[in-house]
Amino acid sequence: MSKIQREPTKLVPIPSVNRIPERDIDKSPILECQHLGIDFGGLSAVKEFNIAIGRTEIAGLIGPNGAGKTTVFNLLTKVYQPTRGTILLDGVDTHSMDTAAVNRAGIARTFQNIRLFNNLTVEDNVKLGLHNSIKYGMWQGIFRLPGYWKEEKIAHERAMELLSIFDMEPLAGHEAGSLPYGAQRRLEIVRALASNPSLLLLDEPAAGMNPSETAELMENIVKIRDTFGIAILLIEHDMNLVMGICEGIAVLNFGQIIAKGTPEEIQANPAVIEAYLGKRKEEAK
């Protein structure tokens, strides 16, 4: 799509608190949440969650443990059905979609507790990400018709290409469950990317990585955004990573957004320092 083409205005005006990066400012956001919320029993795990994410934005979601960050991802991907509010993906309400349909509509994710297909090979894990773009059916597979060979070949090449983002081609034949922790996290990202999302959700992608691995991951996240031209929303506790690559950040505390802004604004925000950043500094001492 060329840059001059404008989307027809179909959205409610974007509240000024929601950050859209400069280059996306003339376009509608890829994701917009309005008054999103969920209750577990009596507990409101997430409430009044409003956010807009630009089409090629790298956005961060931070906050103390138990703040509800993962729950937000589960709401966006419909692992949980929201109790309140609206999710607009590229202007389309995902109200009636289930998890699989949301993925087909354009949201892919990784998990805080890694969820790979452990008994399958690395390559098969990526091919499962490609599942909906591989075009042959059950009978063509059983009878090994030409469609099977053709599509499997394309899928193999595509899988290798995607694995090459993290230089993981040599691991293609290995069982996913036998990979070291860092490689498993990277494979999850590749698998999510394979499903051709327009919004990629990363839940603590740097957890358990050493500083050099984290630095490499930061580069790769930016590279992925630039190559694929997609939006990325990430949850992360590593402030170097968050402040280094995120263009917009939202801070969650007790299920509520307490601040939104650029990394500079967030770092200077007294409420954020009080609720989160300050505590982290103390922990570090």
Contacting residues toward ligand ADP, per CB under 6 A: 40, 45, 63, 65-71
Which one among 70, 74, 110, 198 touches Mg ion, defined by CB under 5 A? 70
Q: Distances from the Cα of 268 to the Cαs of 67, 146, 239, 272, 274, in angstroms? A: 20, 61, 14, 8, 11
**Cα–Cα distance measured from residue 175 to residue 150, given in angstroms and rounded to the nearest whole number:** 24
- Residue 237 as a binder of Mg ion (CB under 5 A): the answer is no
Q: Is 214 in the site for Mg ion (CB under 5 A)?
A: no
Is 274 among the residues that bind another protein (CB under 8 A)? no
Among 141, 211, 270, 278, binds another protein (CB under 8 A): 141
Return the range that interacts with another protein (CB under 8 A); candidates 37-45, 57-65, 167-175, 229-237: 167-175
35 binds, among ligand ADP, another protein, Mg ion, none (CB under 5 to 8 A by kind): none
C-alpha torsion sign, points 109, 114, 115, 119: positive
Report the length, in residues, of the chain: 285
Angle at alpha carbon of residue 247, lines to 243 and 249, rounded to 5°: 70
- Token duo for residue 217: 């991951």
The smaller minimum CB distance to Mg ion, of residues 70 and 269, is found at 70
Question: What is the C-alpha to C-alpha distance for residues 187 and 193, in angstroms, rounded to an integer?
Answer: 10
H helix intervals, the chain: 69-76, 99-105, 122-129, 138-142, 146-163, 181-194, 211-228, 239-245, 263-268, 270-272, 278-284
The item of another protein, Mg ion, ligand ADP, none sharing an interface with residue 56, based on CB under 5 to 8 Å by kind, is none
What is the residue whose two structure tokens read 């630095």?
215
Closest CB 208 distance from another protein, rounded Å = 12
Q: Which residues pair with 58 in a beta bridge?
A: 232
Binding mask 179-198 for another protein (x = CB under 8 A): xx-xx-------xx-xx---
The smaller minimum CB distance to another protein, of residues 157 and 226, is found at 157
65 binds, among Mg ion, ligand ADP, another protein, none (CB under 5 to 8 A by kind): ligand ADP
Within 95-114, the residues that bind another protein by CB under 8 A are 98-101, 103-104, 108-109, 111
